[in-house]
Amino acid sequence: MELIQEAKVNGARLHMACETAGLSLRSYRRWYQQGEIQCDRRSTAERPEPSNKLSKDERQAILKVCNEPAYASLPPSQLVPILLDSGVYLGSESSYYRILKESNQLQHRGRSLEPKRTARPTSYTASASNQVWSWDITYLASTVKGLFYYLYLFEDIYSRKIVGYEVYESECGERAAELIQRSMLREQCFNHPLVLHSDNGAPMKAQTMKAKLEELGVQSSYSRPRVSNDNPYSEALFRTLKYRPEWPSSGFRTIEGARDWVQLFVEWYNEKHRHSKLNFVTPSQRHEGLDG
């Protein structure tokens, strides 16, 4: 712009000076208004860096914490609140996502497959804890081929808290009946109407289990025939369990080892896991009404 102005003062025609400088006459008039040069609005123009831009060291600190073994399986939406609770703030959640994307590390984190959206069953809802529970049984492989242990697990669908669990050597309606009674005793919900949802497996519809539910005043709810995703809460919980970084992929040596591992998982899940469906509070916090 200064060269064009100097050429104009020395008698050069304006459009010729602009052409020589590689600038159109229209651009010159747009940039030079009221006797002053306006700011460069081109997208390629060099601009001063914002004062709050993260430095190279700060960006490296974020990448380092994201790749620590304790946090490598967590998305920024869970990692940032955990660090804040520890008094550590390295950047905003959006900064974490941006830096991970620029470093080609924004792929799904952890060993699990990317989650797929599944619709909730519309046959039951819960507005508070101990209104609706979901339960199911899953296999826990042992180190012996063909030998499995069985995890019985009850979950409150409002708080997502695990309210009852046990590992047995077989599937059995009698043991399920004993576990539901112990779980209700622990939760002190005998005098409250409770719905128990499950799939259509044999232990779920065993006469012993049905009789126990009737005795306890619990209403049964079952998945629709041939509909595999009518019990999404238990399925999602088992998925979380089996894709934990410390999951023993080679199997459990003993049933005692399986029980110890499940106990540690339940403690982590209920007390430390910040659930994405609970606005990143723990299931225990939601269950006890401490999330408000």
Mean pLDDT over all residues of the chain? 86
Residue whose entry in the numeric block shows the structure tokens 């005098």: 191
Alpha-carbon gap, residue 263 to 268, rounded angstroms: 9
> For the chain, what percentages of helix, strand and coil (3-state, to nearest 5) are there?
40, 15, 45
Q: 144-171: per-residue pLDDT in tens?
A: 999 999 999 999 999 999 999 999 999 9
Is 176 a residue whose pLDDT tops 90?
yes
Coil vs helix vs strand at 214:
helix
| Beta carbons within 8 Å of 174's beta carbon, 6+ residues apart | 206, 208, 209
Alpha-carbon gap, residue 142 to 117, rounded angstroms: 31
Torsion of CA 268, 271, 275, 281, to 10 degrees: -160
The pLDDT value recorded for residue 111 is: 62
Q: 17-43: per-residue pLDDT in tens?
A: 888 878 788 877 777 776 666 666 666
C-alpha to C-alpha distances, 164 to 26, 97, 184, 278, 290, nearest whole angstrom = 75, 36, 8, 20, 21
- Sequence-ordered alpha helix ranges (H) in 38-192: 56-66, 76-85, 93-102, 173-187
Segment among 63-67, 166-170, 183-187 with least mean pLDDT: 63-67
Alpha-carbon gap, residue 38 to 31, rounded angstroms: 5
The pLDDT value recorded for residue 228 is: 46
- CATH number assigned to the domain with residue range 132-287, chosen from the 4 options 3.90.400.10, 3.90.650.10, 3.30.420.10, 3.90.230.10: 3.30.420.10
227 pLDDT band, cuts 50/70/90, is very low
Is 219 a residue whose pLDDT tops 60?
yes
pTM over 0.75: no
